[in-house]
Structure 1
């Protein structure tokens, strides 16, 4: 008696593993980009140095040494002294704390207000879309700088409240981005299947719809963070917010007031601001490429 030998058919891969592969591949594709990886390292270094400024700075940011006023680097002062006789290196480390914190407040306000409004307007439409659309159009019609200057005159030269108000001005960008992405996926078959299976609207939005918009939102947040850093620096340079707080914009303003006596003072805050904003833009571009690139399938 003979038996026919039939080759066994390989079992299909589990659905959970195939669903998790693209998510794990995003980080791998991001780290394959040398520019994005280098920018991420620079950002982490800036954040860590700013957080641990009390441990790394040799002097207090307001400690005055009259002998080093507008002095060149050297003599125990790595970057010299500013116009008031304070150590530039110490103020640069401490200044990153307020600058990054103000930009973080801006992004949090924009996310907390813009993303839920975009989800509701894109998923439900009708009254939600009309109300939120009218509100965002009104915000876009208001001159941003005029509003910030008026708010500063009303609430005083406080950095964080002013940056929170700037976050409100960034809400229309997040709202329109999320609304458009949600409108493109709310009619997909898997959303209809989830609705037919009995899932509530909050669970459908959190489990299915939000996953479709989180990539563009992260990229928008990275780019908006750099814009917030530049806006805060500009306000501090103009002296609109509290000029006594150590920040990169305040250091830049002091450097320009002493540009002829100590021209090197403008280098340190200028380079720091430029490197930080460029690193944020490169991280956003790298994340966009990692999310849009299709993962390679293995046989």
Structure 2
């Protein structure tokens, strides 16, 4: 028998996949006709068993969990793959009884149609397990009904109640497709769109405002409006905070970073500064 998956099914193709921390070829499935040894049509892919190979007469997928590499091999050389399918000839080393049985084989390259789980791809999958929450926006003037700021007075911006899920740091570890990976995610900057055409970037969670601060500007994250919000929908500026997350991971001696962002919004009213004359 030829090397498993060495003769791709009709229509299969390959393309490169570049990820930080390493890149490897990812073979994409694309068979147009899948048949067993008797000529009977079979599904070209199965969510539990993998991708069908006309050549090897079985469904291939990456084994999970992965066993230790065979003697003389390392996790960087290849991976264990599982072959499950219909019985073939008695001389076939992959002969099995029924579709539920399977055989694991070490391969330096993935069979046609099977995605090689690289550290970079495992990082993408691990990042999906982080369910980031929008930051609770702390802002003065307050967005409460009846509350209004004034043109020329400082606006304070901060993260109200930072947590693991909305600001980080947040660490997770897992074994995905046989790749042991760990990573930490945290917000590294926040882009504030103030609704008046101004956008500022703050690299901290900001400082919560206290009444004792008076009309002093925020020391690390603030804004001053130069015009009222009366021409805005509802008479208020829409303030949008985009929290930019950086995910740093380590796997199989490689490291890399991935990024994503989460938005939250609030609205504030800005009016004219009132002058009080004391006689």
- The structure where helix makes up a greater share of residues is 1
Q: Answer 1 or 2: higher relative contact order, Cα 8 Å, separation at least 6.
A: 1
With structure 2 as the length reference, what TM-score do the two structures score?
Answer: 0.32
- The structure where strand makes up a greater share of residues is 2
Rg comparison, structure with higher value: 2
